[in-house]
Amino acid sequence: MNDHTEYPSIVLGGGCFWCTEALYLRLFGVRSVEPGYSGGALPNPTYQAICGGETGHAEVIRVTYNPEKISLRALIDFFWEAHDPTTLNRQGADVGTQYRSVIFYADVEQQEIAEASKAAAVGRFEKPIVTEIAKLGPFFPAEQYHRNYYDNNPHAPYCQFVIAPKLAHIKKGGTP
The yes-or-no answer on residue 16 being catalytic is yes
d(CA 153, CA 109): 36
Contact (Cβ atoms closer than 8 angstroms) between residue 63 and residue 104: no
d(CA 115, CA 94): 26
Q: Please name the residues in contact with 134: beta carbons below 8 A apart, sequence gap of 6 or more.
A: 39, 102, 103, 104, 105
Active-site position among 16, 19, 51, 159: 16
Report the relative pairing of strands 139-141 and 30-38 from DSSP bridges: antiparallel
Q: Rg of the chain's alpha carbons, rounded to an integer?
A: 15
d(CA 134, CA 129): 15
Active site residues: 16
